[in-house]
Structure 1
Amino acid sequence: MIGYTMVGTADLNRAEQFYDPLMALLGQERCFSDEQFASWGRKDDDRAPRFFTGYPFDGNSASVGNGAMTAFLIESPEVIDRMFEIALERGGQDEGKPGFRPQYGEGFYAAYVRDPDGNKLAFVCYDAGKPA
């Protein structure tokens, strides 16, 4: 259903430094980058969903939509915990510490951050098991 997701940035170099280690943990490689944008995904499959960050094409500054969020499906709570740590180390902001969210499902484990440009991200695992 999703072909790609793109979030805006005011500083592409900073955004690349923020996203490179997160995408590496997801097994996603840098597919392309130039002076306008960067993308991550699978180089061997151009039909697999990709994630982009870049400067808005209309030349105006990037703005963040209230209520917009990109959620990355993660294999385990441990990887979510590590992604949350890396995001904060790379200039992200805490929007919800890692933990179970039983209101979304019995095994729903997630963490929420904003990237250095204010784009909201979620790292989620749907089947993390029952909370202790």
Structure 2
Amino acid sequence: MIGYTMVGTNDLNRAKAFYDPLFEMMGLSPCYEDEQVVSWGDRHDETVPRFFSCHPYDGNPASVGNGAMTTFRVPTATSVDALYEIAIAGGGRDEGRPGFRPERYGDKFYVAYVRDPDGNKLAFACYDGRSTP
């Protein structure tokens, strides 16, 4: 259903440095880059949704929408933990430490929330965090 997601940045080099290690851990690689935009996904499979970070095309500064979030589904709770730590070490801000959220999402949903250096909200989620790899 989703072809790609795009978030704005005011510093493309900073965004690339933040997202490169996250996508590397998820097994995704840079697909395209120029002075306006950088994207990650699977270069060999265009059916895999891509993620873009870019300077807004209208020339105005990037701004964050309240309530907007991109969630990356990963296979294990351990992956959620690792991605959270990578994001925080890379300049991200905590919006919700890794853990289960049974009161809202059931007893298997394991998730962490962060904001990238531009303030875009991200989540790393495992839908069956109680299973073992």
Same-fold call, TM cutoff 0.5: yes
Structure 1 counterpart of 2:122: 121
Is the aligned partner of 1:82 residue 2:82?
Answer: yes
The one-letter code sitting in structure 2 at the alignment partner of 1:6 is: M
Deviation (angstroms), 1:110: 0.3
Contact 1:32 1:40 in 2 (8 A): yes
Q: Distance in 2 between matches of 1:9 and 1:82?
A: 24
Deviation (angstroms), 1:47: 2.6
Structure 2 counterpart of 1:100: 100
Q: Distance in 2 between matches of 1:124 and 1:59?
A: 33
Q: Distance in 2 between matches of 1:30 and 1:56?
A: 19
The one-letter code sitting in structure 1 at the alignment partner of 2:4 is: Y
Deviation (angstroms), 1:46: 1.7
The one-letter code sitting in structure 2 at the alignment partner of 1:37 is: V
Q: Distance in 2 between matches of 1:39 and 1:17?
A: 12
The 3-state SS of whatever aligns with 1:62 is coil
Unaligned runs of 5+ in 1: none
The one-letter code sitting in structure 2 at the alignment partner of 1:79 is: S
The 3-state SS of whatever aligns with 1:70 is strand
Structure 2 counterpart of 1:50: 50
Q: Distance in 1 between matches of 2:47 and 2:73?
A: 18
Contact 1:105 1:126 in 2 (8 A): no
Structure 1 residues 60-102: Cα deviation after superposition (integer angstroms, max 9, x where no partner): 0000000000000011111111111111111100000000011
| Corresponding residue pairs, total | 130
Q: Distance in 2 between matches of 1:28 and 1:79?
A: 14
Structure 1 residues 22-56: Cα deviation after superposition (integer angstroms, max 9, x where no partner): 00111011001111000000000123200000100
Unaligned runs of 5+ in 2: none
Deviation (angstroms), 1:128: 1.1
The 3-state SS of whatever aligns with 2:14 is helix
The one-letter code sitting in structure 2 at the alignment partner of 1:52 is: F
Tell which deviates more after alignment, 46-55 or 7-16.
46-55
Q: Distance in 1 between matches of 2:39 and 2:106?
A: 31
